[in-house]
Amino acid sequence: MPEAPETPRKRTAYIALGSNLGDRIGWIEKACNEMDARGIKVKRTSSLWETEPMYVLDQDRFVNGACEVETTMEPLELLDALQDIENKLGRKKVIDKGPRNIDLDILLYDNLQVNHERLKIPHIGIPEREFVLRPLAELIPDKPIDPNRPWRLTADYLDALPPSKTPLTTMTPLSSHHPPIQALNPSRKTHVMAILNMTPDSFSDGGQNLPLPPDSISENTSSAGSPNTITNGTAIDSTTTDPSTALHHTITTLLDAGASMIDIGGQSTAPGTPEVPLAEELARVIPAIRLIRTRFPTNTTTTTTDTTITTTTSRPVLISVDTYRAAVASAAIAAGADIVNDVSGGSMDPAMLATVARLGATVCLMHMRGTPATMAGLAAYPAAEGGLIGGIARELVQRVRAAEEAGVRRWRIVLDPGLGFAKVGRQNVDVLRHLEELRAWPGLQGLPWLVGSSRKSFVGRVTGVPTPKERIWGTAATVAAAVQGGADVVRVHDVKEMAQVVAMADAIWRY
């Protein structure tokens, strides 16, 4: 009997990723997708870091990262594949260490040493380059780089470097029409995310926004017989304005007030709220997303007819979809949404994380236990298990790991501590007090944070204000605390007021 062919051995390698031309993050993502397509499985990625150029200084800033891959290719075969990917993506090497749209280097390959005229492993530049060591240390802080010096770990090499004149910052892309979040940049501006609930039963503003019919993108502006509505403090007379025009007015008001993101939800997550059918959630959010993308285009366009020339001015809007259903996330991204905001951290729908990975979208993973119906009874955080902050941090590390295992790139992850979700009363105040500790937790470092405290019940309990819409002043204090603690995004109902709070808080704490 002939022997069965030997199964190729799977090896683990670490690849450096770099770009400083054009859509830098886009090129790196294309390279990772190309590796996956060729059987070089990208298992984990570091954050992406913006860095000053090294060696050749007269060039643009780089975006650098690293990834852990699984491959059956031998080292030189892997090198050939990576160089072929560079060529396919149009890399032209004009000068050594000069500008390039994509740069892929093998840093480590199992525990092997390679000394070939084309390839040196471990890569000879690792010890002196912070832009290599910092992303590599995210992936393998406790792994030795040099097999001949197993006592010296990746983190040790990083710690031995002199302080950088320009501290590195991570980069989290939001969309192709908006700059990424730089979560470690001390002078970054805080995003104001406006809440747009297309639901009749949200705890604070349910029923304020009229549902849109599927054909609501038309320019029709007459709709008789509808009741008046108030959307985020802006009165709309719906007896003379159809829902699409009312929503257009609302979005304009939110943007003028200072919002840079719109978070659209079609399913209330208030305790005890029944889950709506999938078709109903889709019917609530998808027409709204399409309308925003039509009325607020990302590019300036000019339309010419025989008699008129119409110019539509670009006003880029970041759209987030607030859902824990993979099918809604997929449809929303297809309709024009940029971000998936999942209150369950990808735990309520087993398909969510894999869907987000396939879509290549940025996802916000919120901390929650159980479901909205059960979370209030799951707010115990024993001191023996790290207490409140330790419990939140450990469980978010697990959600980040689950996202990475599903194929989500680390640079596409935003975190949310989940105020009001499996936290009761003053536990929420404690989270705000310790947000900086959460940001620095091992496994969560460098990731951006979204904080949603707006009008929540703990604000009412502390201030003695029972009506959610009247909790503006209490909410303002929580928003200021979130900025001080390092939040990158605050999710709010009262955009005009909170945008002013954010502007002042940024002036105090972001410099």
Whether 97 is catalytic:
no
* Nearest alpha-carbon partner for 78 in 117, 104, 97: 104
145 to 82, 218, 352: CA distances (angstroms) = 21, 60, 35
What are the beta bridge partners of residue 51? 62
| DSSP symbol at 172 | B
How many other CB atoms are there within 10 angstroms of residue 459's CB atom?
A: 24
| DSSP symbol at 7 | P
Structure tokens at 258: 């200072």
Angle between helices 352-359 and 326-335 (to 10 degrees): 20
How many other CB atoms are there within 10 angstroms of residue 170's CB atom?
A: 25
Q: Read out DSSP for 126-150?
A: GGG-HHHHHHHHHH-TTSBSSTT-T
In this structure, are residues 45 and 411 in contact, taking their beta carbons and an 8 Å threshold?
A: yes
Cβ contacts of 77 within 8 Å, gap of 6 or more? none
Structure tokens at 369: 């236990």
Identified catalytic residue from 38, 491, 496, 510: 491
* Nearest alpha-carbon partner for 220 in 198, 247, 197: 247
The strand ranges marked E within 305-352 are 309-312, 318-322, 339-342
312 phi, psi to nearest 5 deg: -105, 115
C-alpha span between 176 and 61 (Å, rounded): 18
CA dihedral (457, 282, 359, 244) positive or negative: negative
Structure tokens at 496: 């005009």
Identified catalytic residue from 456, 469, 471, 510: 456
Q: Read out DSSP for 343-381?
A: TTTT-SSTTHHHHHHHHT-EEEEE---S-TTTGGG----
CA dihedral (484, 488, 494, 499) positive or negative: positive
In this structure, are residues 51 and 61 in contact, taking their beta carbons and an 8 Å threshold?
A: yes
Whether 44 is catalytic:
no
386 to 426, 431, 449: CA distances (angstroms) = 17, 13, 21
Which residues are identified as catalytic?
A: 456, 491
